[in-house]
């Protein structure tokens, strides 16, 4: 057995000889020498194979020496063995050499499983290693040249070493799936050597966050020296991305499995099908030592949240400092309260710091009386008493208010001296003011616009698809509204939440929902126009996330803030949002669940202006006969504003019936300003629609033209929805380019990255809008020999080059007049260069940044070229460019971690967003 490190200690008796031991010879030829005089011990430090014999350099036998030696001790690390039955693609398997990441504290193998050496460069092929299917053992399938089979396995251990391709969902080599493979060092099929295991997705994420850059360079520059070893496709077994991208499995799985992905542009942790062949890097399974501390100070505990009699506890915890931690682990514990009964302080398991640290005890239960609740904490060899006060006080909220946490939100005022406004210092439903954007106890509840605190705002409330016909639903469910106008109420009511005595005002007495103008004033007072500025403001706004009107799912907690105003905008309502890089006011679907921050009600003076200029109105969007207006507004300038308030108003059109111009309530500027009227409805005629504006003591009339015909799509276009995609232009001021504001086939501009009506159709590269792009179109395996297939079926192409057309035609989609251009007149498919310019203008490369860009991109998913099945819907987006790359075409990929430009099979079904010529 090999040893990584050997110490040989010869302890001699007092009556030892006075000669020298000239050398100790190892079987591999290594020799070490040490003189022996009249001393008690000799120590040799050597490496190699354990000593087989001692050679004293004397003619007498080795027994003479051993008779004078009391003991010989050998210490070291034995050779680490691979599991029995492992098939190695290189002789002997990968050598096991450990490497430590000092930032994360994790120990790993220094090379990929199957690699013959640690990487010396990102493109070091000898360091690429094998490519495993998720959950499989080292049975030979992982070898890059292994045979493929389409026969799925019904067992955890297939009886062969073939790479199993999976042509249909859920794209797993095993049927049925088994989520319990690769779980821990003793997990089923763990291919790592003894003492090592597959890392979790959390462990991969910690590694990724420690890199100098989120790309190939950062991966290779890390202590692990990760290489872009490529992958094998789960549907074909073909190699791909070798030298240009890395895919590394984690042990985490639900339906798909989690993996680390990186390439030249970005790195991310996300899901992929288990039949894919990816790299493995093994992490050491470190056994934690029992922890201890020297001092525990309950008297200095930091307490968050409040406790009230007969109220269920939520968002309440205590942080207890300690000193003298030894870095060992401690077990989870729950401590029942004394004094006041009914409470429990719970500590999850963890690891003590080396030195000083703190323990967080989460308080739960319902206190049965007021007074002092005491918890006796006994941990790490130390004992102290944690005390929490229980109050009998209540706060003054409207009758019938449902409190999600059991404890009404404390009413603590905070004043912004810049705006002169007084607010509550925390979100409605929060148990504390925010000390960080990610402080969960400061998030609070998520309200649908205009609804009362009936329980729907609780983050764990159930959802329903049943819309309400009244202002007061008979249930407390979160109401899903996936269809325009995406409101929980049918029909809509614009008069909810208007003022302190407004219908359904959920704020405590004396407070109300702020207007959009009040939010804008707050935003202008922030130190920076982003999440950091929101937190550092007087209001200390956290990134409390949002709840989707489409699915009821909660998203972006800690990363994004979305706060309602009382102002409406057409069928939507106005809200302020902020993320890492920007803050903005926008119109949002009223069925979304956003945070509420209440402002103190102070009577405002009715405002006036000196001049209103309708003749110079700035008109946005177009109006078409018989087409529902969307994205249409008129901006009217005024002068001589006195800073007073004005009420919202809706003006019916004259000349052309069917339209309404709506102005949300707000405040006039001091001096010059503008009013934004949103135009909604469906014009029944062509011609000039007139709107008479009467506000602030001034009257004027503005006109909007209604065109007789909609802009034409190419003849023969088949639309998957009842009406053609509406053509509303949107410009990116950073690039100067104009685009359609929605995907081809979408019924609206995206209100969120998971807004289903905004997903649109999925086109095969170069094909016309012949019906194949509809998400439910049937599939066929018959390739087309012309540019215009004879049917609207989705043509699957499981074999290379993966194109729906045989032979290929590189001249499709080239320009506005290009063959098969599916865009409306004056628009075309963007080039790769135009996509790159667009992406470079975003705040970052995440899917959230893609949505927050002027083009409002959604995670519309894809259709697989080998099966026609949908994938990644709501999780990622794939958008075609007109640019080709060999037998492939260039596309943009947008997912939770990053956005990149790459090449893909032309038979894949991806989204199309048209750019103006």
Residue 641: CB partners within 8 Å, gap ≥ 6? Answer: 607, 608, 609, 610, 668, 669, 670, 671, 672, 673, 696
pLDDT at 588: 95
User: 0.75 cut: is pTM over it?
Assistant: no
Structure confidence at residue 69 (pLDDT): 36
Q: For residues 36 and 24, is the Cβ–Cβ distance under 8 A?
A: no
The string of DSSP codes covering 645-657 is: EE--EEEE-BSS-
Please return the burial class of 589, using the count of CB atoms within 10 Å of its CB with bins 0-12, 13-18 and 19+. buried
CA 161, CA 132: separation in Å to the nearest integer? 11
| β-bridge mates for residue 633, sequence order | 620, 678
Burial class (CB in 10 A: 0-12, 13-18, 19+), 326: middle
Residue 521's closest CA among 468, 441, 573, 599? 599
- pLDDT profile of the chain (917 residues), mean per 10: 34 36 38 40 39 30 34 41 93 93 88 96 96 97 97 95 92 91 89 93 81 87 96 94 94 78 80 91 78 89 75 75 84 84 80 83 82 91 90 68 89 88 95 94 97 96 93 92 93 89 87 93 92 95 96 94 94 94 92 97 74 88 82 89 81 91 82 88 88 93 82 86 88 87 94 91 97 96 95 94 95 94 95 90 80 91 94 92 95 84 94 96
Q: Please, are residues 259 and 292 in contact by the beta-carbon 8 Å criterion?
A: no
Cis peptide leading into residue 176 (ω within 30°) = yes
Q: Are 556 and 580 in contact (CB under 8 A)?
A: no
Element (H, E) at 680: strand 670-681
By the 8 A CB rule, do 816 and 829 touch?
no
Q: What is the distance between the alpha carbons of residues 422 and 834, in angstroms, rounded to a whole number?
A: 47
pLDDT of residue 247: 95
> What is the C-alpha separation between 217 and 737, in angstroms, rounded?
32
Distance (Å, rounded) from C-alpha 20 to C-alpha 474? 97
CA distance to 3, 199, 341, 570, 859, per residue, from 214 (Å): 37, 19, 51, 42, 22
Structure confidence at residue 133 (pLDDT): 97
Find, among 599, 637, 602, the residue nearest to 515 by Cα: 599
Name the phi and psi angles at 851, rounded to 5. -70, -35
């Amino acid at each position: 057995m090999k040893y990584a490190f050997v110490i040989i200690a010869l302890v001699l008796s007092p009556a030892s000889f006075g000669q020298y031991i000239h050398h100790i010879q190892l079987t591999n030829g290594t020799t070490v020498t040490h003189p022996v005089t009249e001393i008690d011990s000799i120590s040799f430090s050597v490496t190699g194979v354990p000593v087989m014999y001692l050679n004293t350099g004397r003619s007498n036998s080795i027994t003479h020496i051993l008779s004078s030696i009391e003991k010989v001790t050998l210490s070291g690390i034995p050779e680490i063995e691979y599991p029995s039955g492992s098939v190695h693609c290189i002789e002997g398997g990968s050598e096991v050499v450990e490497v430590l990441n000092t930032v994360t504290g994790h120990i790993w193998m220094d090379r990929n499983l199957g690699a013959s050496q640690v990487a010396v460069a990102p493109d070091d092929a000898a360091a690429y290693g094998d490519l495993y299917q998720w959950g499989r053992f080292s049975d030979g399938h992982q070898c890059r040249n292994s045979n493929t089979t389409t026969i799925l396995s019904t067992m955890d251990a297939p009886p062969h070493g073939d790479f199993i391709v999976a042509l249909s969902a859920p794209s797993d080599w095993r049927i049925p799936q088994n989520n319990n493979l690769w779980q821990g060092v003793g997990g089923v099929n763990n291919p790592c050597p003894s003492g090592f295991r597959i890392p979790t997705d959390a462990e991969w994420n910690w590694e990724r966050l420690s890199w100098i850059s989120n790309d190939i360079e950062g991966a290779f520059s890390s202590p692990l020296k990760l290489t872009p070893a490529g992958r094998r496709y789960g549907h074909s077994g073909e190699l791909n991305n070798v030298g240009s991208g890395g895919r590394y499995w984690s042990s985490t799985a639900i339906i798909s499995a989690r993996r680390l992905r990186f390439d030249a542009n970005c790195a991310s942790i996300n899901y992929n099908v288990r039949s894919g062949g990816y790299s493995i890097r093994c992490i050491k399974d470190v056994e934690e030592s029992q922890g201890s501390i020297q001092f525990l100070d309950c008297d200095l505990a930091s307490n968050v949240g409040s406790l009230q009699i007969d109220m269920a506890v939520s968002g309440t915890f205590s942080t207890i400092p300690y000193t003298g931690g030894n870095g060992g682990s401690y077990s989870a514990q729950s401590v029942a309260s004394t004094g006041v009964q009914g409470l429990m302080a719970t500590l999850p398991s963890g690891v003590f710091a080396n030195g000083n640290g703190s323990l967080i005890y989460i308080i739960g239960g319902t206190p049965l009386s007021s007074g002092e609740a005491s918890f006796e904490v006994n941990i790490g060899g130390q004992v102290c008493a944690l005390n929490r006060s229980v109050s009998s006080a209540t706060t003054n909220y409207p009758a019938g208010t449902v409190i999600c946490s059991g404890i009404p939100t404390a009413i603590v005022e905070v004043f912004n001296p810049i705006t002169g406004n007084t607010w509550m210092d925390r979100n409605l439903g929060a148990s504390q003011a925010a000390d960080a954007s990610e402080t969960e106890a400061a998030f609070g509840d998520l309200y649908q616009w205009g609804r009362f605190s009936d329980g729907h705002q609780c983050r764990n409330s159930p959802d329903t698809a049943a819309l309400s016909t009244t202002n007061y639903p008979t249930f407390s469910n979160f109401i899903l509204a996936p269809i325009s106008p995406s409101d929980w109420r049918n029909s809509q009511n614009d008069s909810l939440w208007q003022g302190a005595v407004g219908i359904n005002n959920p704020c405590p007495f004396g407070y109300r929902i702020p207007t959009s103008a009040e939010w804008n004033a707050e935003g202008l007072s922030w130190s920076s126009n982003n999440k950091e500025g929101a937190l550092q403001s007087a209001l200390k706004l956290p990134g409390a996330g949002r709840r989707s009107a489409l699915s009821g799912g909660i998203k972006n907690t800690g990363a994004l803030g979305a706060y309602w105003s009382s102002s409406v905008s057409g069928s939507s309502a106005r809200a302020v949002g902020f993320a890492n890089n920007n803050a903005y006011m926008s119109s949002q679907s009223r069925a979304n669940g956003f945070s509420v921050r209440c402002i103190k009600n102070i009577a405002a003076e009715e405002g006036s202006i000196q001049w209103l200029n309708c003749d110079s109105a700035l008109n946005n969007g177009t109006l078409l006969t018989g087409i529902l207006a969307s994205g249409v507004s008129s901006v009217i300038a005024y002068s001589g504003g006195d800073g007073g308030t004005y009420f919202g108003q809706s003006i019916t059109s004259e000349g052309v019936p069917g339209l309404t111009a709506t102005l949300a309530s707000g405040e006039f500027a001091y001096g010059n300003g503008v009013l934004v009227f949103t135009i909604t409805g469906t014009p029944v005629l062509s011609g000039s629609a007139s709107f008479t504006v009467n506000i602030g003591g001034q009257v004027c009339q503005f006109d909007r033209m209604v065109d007789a015909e909609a802009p034409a799509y190419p003849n023969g276009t088949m639309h998957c929805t009842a009406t053609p995609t509406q053509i509303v232009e949107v410009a990116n001021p950073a690039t100067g380019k104009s685009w359609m504001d929605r995907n081809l086939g979408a019924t609206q501009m995206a209100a969120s990255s998971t807004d289903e009506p905004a997903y649109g159709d999925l086109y095969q590269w170069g094909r016309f809008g012949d019906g194949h792009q509809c998400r439910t179109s049937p599939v066929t395996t018959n390739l087309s020999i012309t540019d215009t297939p004879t049917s609207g079926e989705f043509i699957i192409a499981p074999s290379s080059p993966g194109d729906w057309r045989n032979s290929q035609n590189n001249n499709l989609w080239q320009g506005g007049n290009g063959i098969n251009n599916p865009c409306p007149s004056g628009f075309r498919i963007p080039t790769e260069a135009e996509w790159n310019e667009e992406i470079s203008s975003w705040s970052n490369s995440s899917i959230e940044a893609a949505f927050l860009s002027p083009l409002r991109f959604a995670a519309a998913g894809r259709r697989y070229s080998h099966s026609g099945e949908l994938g990644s819907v709501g999780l990622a987006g794939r958008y075609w460019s007109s640019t080709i790359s060999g037998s492939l075409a260039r596309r943009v990929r947008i997912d939770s971690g990053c956005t990149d430009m790459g090449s893909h099979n032309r038979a894949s079904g991806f989204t199309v967003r048209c750019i103006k010529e």
